[in-house]
């Protein structure tokens, strides 16, 4: 072989190896830096080959593909080698090689199903990326997402709704990876969900519950046989959006009356689609946002959310809604306004999409389990009768105050109602796979303790770990028997369980539908209050069953998709009959 050709080959191998080492040392690498490096480095060997061939086209065609091929070989060899810091953890080979496989699974919307299959095959702690683990060891939770947890991982860089401002590396509090800054920016949110503000939101909730009950009652009365045929998923979605409009934006939504004329549901679905894919490959996130065909849905959702936030900001603050409390908590409104506006998108998604999804899942599970439906309806009937609570609420101020003073506490004390909600959240957490964390910069890594008799996991800096709630909640070690079956009784107290022959194992420390630690869901008390009110009112006023003439109930889970938050993409057609209990007609 000609010495110049040998020199060219040596240059290709050395430059590819050096490039791999640089990527490994500096990972994660920004897209611009990576493109620049991959464009410039092969030019050296291209020039060397040109000296031999005197053809620039031939030199480029030979040098560049050979360089990229060698880089890929070195990357793959290292990621599969025993020298990789995560080499001892099992997992699918494709996931060890590239996160592009995870992005493809996300594209299908079935990440939660795929990760459950991976854990079922490989065990509780598995490797799901070149530099990422997934674990369902509950002993690790405090060190990952709990009080001794880690900052958010690199996935969150690919989950941003909008282009990042040059002055900061986050769009809103949910994608903020700096724990210190996160704690500062979360203070207004914490204050906005204290006991006193929750009473203000409860006063806004009661009229909306009244409204949906009356709408559904009218649908029943308009039918000749008194049986209404409705898509309850649509109505629960409209209710949740209207309520978050009251809570956060001064009552700007009226979907239950006017329908989804602004396309709120479609906008949310489109907006969540891209981040659910790009969070697996954050380096491509900003690049993808330059293409309107790909990013159009997110852009429309951003414009919609900001419009509602600005409209609310321009209104006189007459009611103590979420916007009011966040502004009150801010010492300087002018400086806090950008944060408040940017969090409008978070409020819409977290306050409506996730709650509607959970409500619909619970109704689906109850309708699929008639004995649980009947037991819950009986408990609610007894509570309503015992405490003289109206079946369908009324919209006068005095009545609302009377109901609010008693009703919230009563619902919070109903054991089976709360067991049903917990079981629904266990089976279908709204964030199924997205709880990723990573060691803080400069820490060197994180030791995950699982107890004195069990091995520990050391997660080196530059690597990440995910806790998939959907998989954790269905682990038979923590929830048995039948972790894939809807059994609310598993959440009752020991005394309440004594009437059952079945012995239940329920690990409450493995139950994380609202996450844990400083990044947990700040709106948890509001979401629980909303679900209790809606479920109690619905079951008190209606007898319900699937509309099996138009619907195969198995479609509900089949059409469910993991899109950043879990989304039920199908309808939920049901037949309802107004009960008219307690003398109400």
Binding-site residues for heme sit at 521
Q: Read off the DSSP letter of residue 181.
A: H
Residue with tokens 């059994």, as numbered in its chain: 487
| Sign of the torsion angle spanned by Cα atoms 257, 259, 263, 266 | positive
Is residue 164 within 8 Å of residue 536, measured between CB atoms?
no
Q: What is the signed CA dihedral for 260, 263, 268, 274, rounded to 10 degrees?
A: 160
Burial readout 439-458 (b: 16 or more C-beta within 10 A, e: otherwise): beeeeeebebebeeeeeebe
Q: How far apart are CA 27 and CA 390, in angstroms?
A: 61
**228 three-state secondary structure:** strand
Q: 248 with 351: CB under 8 angstroms?
A: yes
- Reduce the secondary structure of 402-438 to three states and give it as a string: HHHHHHHHHHHCCHHHHHHHHHHHHHCCCCCCCEEEC
| Cβ within 8 Å of residue 160, ≥6 positions away | 170, 171, 175, 275, 285
CA angle 83, 121, 554 (to 5 degrees): 140
**Helices 370-386, 524-541: crossing angle, 10 deg rounding:** 90
For every residue of 472-522, DSSP letters joined together read HTT-TTTEES-TTS--GGGGS-HHHHTT-SS--EE-GGG--TT--GGGS-T
Could you tell me which residues are annotated as the binding site?
A: 521
């Amino acid at each position: 072989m000609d010495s110049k050709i040998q020199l060219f080959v040596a240059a290709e191998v050395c430059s590819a190896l050096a490039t791999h080492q640089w990527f490994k040392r500096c990972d994660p690498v920004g897209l611009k830096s990576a493109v620049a490096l991959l464009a410039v480095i092969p030019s050296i060997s291209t020039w060397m080959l040109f000296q031999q061939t005197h053809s620039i086209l031939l030199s480029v065609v030979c040098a560049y593909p050979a360089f990229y091929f060698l880089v890929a070989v070195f990357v793959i060899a290292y990621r599969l080698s025993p020298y990789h810091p995560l080499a001892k953890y099992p997992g699918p080979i494709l996931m060890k090689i590239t996160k592009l496989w995870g992005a493809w699974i996300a594209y299908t919307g079935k990440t939660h199903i795929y990760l459950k299959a991976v854990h079922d095959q490989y065990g509780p702690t598995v490797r799901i990326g070149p530099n990422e683990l997934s674990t369902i060891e509950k002993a690790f939770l405090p060190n990952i997402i709990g009080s001794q947890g880690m900052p958010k991982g690199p996935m969150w860089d690919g989950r941003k709704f909008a282009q990042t401002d040059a002055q900061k590396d986050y769009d809103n509090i949910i994608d903020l990876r700096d724990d210190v800054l996160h704690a500062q920016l979360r203070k207004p949110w914490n204050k906005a969900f204290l006991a006193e503000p929750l009473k203000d939101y409860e006063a806004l909730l009661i009229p909306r519950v009244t409204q949906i009950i009356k709408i559904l009652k009218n649908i029943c009365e308009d039918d000749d046989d008194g049986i209404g045929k409705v898509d309850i998923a649509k109505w629960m979605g409209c209710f949740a959006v209207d309520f978050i409009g009251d809570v956060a934006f001064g009552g700007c939504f009226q979907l239950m009356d006017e329908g989804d004329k602004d396309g709120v549901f479609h906008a949310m679905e489109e907006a969540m689609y891209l981040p659910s894919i790009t969070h697996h490959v954050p380096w491509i996130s900003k690049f993808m946002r330059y293409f309107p065909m790909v990013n159009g849905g997110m852009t429309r959702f951003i414009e919609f959310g900001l419009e509602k936030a600005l409209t609310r900001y321009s209104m006189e603050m007459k009611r103590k809604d979420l916007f009011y409390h966040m502004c009150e908590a801010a010492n300087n409104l002018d400086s806090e306004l950008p944060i408040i506006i940017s969090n409008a998108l978070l409020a819409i998604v977290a306050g409506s999409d996730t709650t509607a999804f959970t409500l619909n899942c619970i109704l689906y599970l109850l309708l699929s389990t008639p004995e649980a439906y009947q037991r819950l309806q009986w408990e609610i009937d007894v509570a309503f009768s015992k405490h003289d609570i109206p079946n369908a609420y009324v919209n006068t101020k005095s009545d609302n105050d009377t109901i609010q003073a008693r009703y919230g506490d009563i619902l919070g004390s109903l054991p089976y109602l709360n067991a049903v909600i917990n079981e629904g959240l266990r089976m279908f957490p709204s964030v199924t796979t997205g709880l990723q964390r990573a060691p803080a910069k400069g820490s060197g890594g994180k030791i995950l303790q699982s107890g004195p008799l069990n091995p520990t996991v050391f997660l080196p800096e530059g690597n990440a770990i995910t806790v998939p709630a959907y998989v954790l909640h269905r682990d038979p070690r923590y929830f048995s028997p039948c972790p894939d079956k809807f059994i609310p009784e598993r959440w009752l107290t020991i005394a309440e369980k004594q009437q059952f022959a079945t012995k239940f194992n329920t690990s409450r420390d493995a139950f994380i539908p609202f996450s844990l630690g400083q990044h947990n869901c700040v709106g948890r008390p509001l979401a629980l209050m909303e679900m209790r009110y809606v479920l109690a009112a619905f079951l008190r006023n209606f007898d319900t069953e699937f509309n099996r003439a138009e619907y195969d109930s198995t479609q509900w889970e089949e059409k469910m998709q993991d899109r950043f938050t879990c989304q039920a993409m199908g309808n939920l057609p049901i037949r309802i009959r107004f009960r008219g209990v307690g003398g109400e007609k």
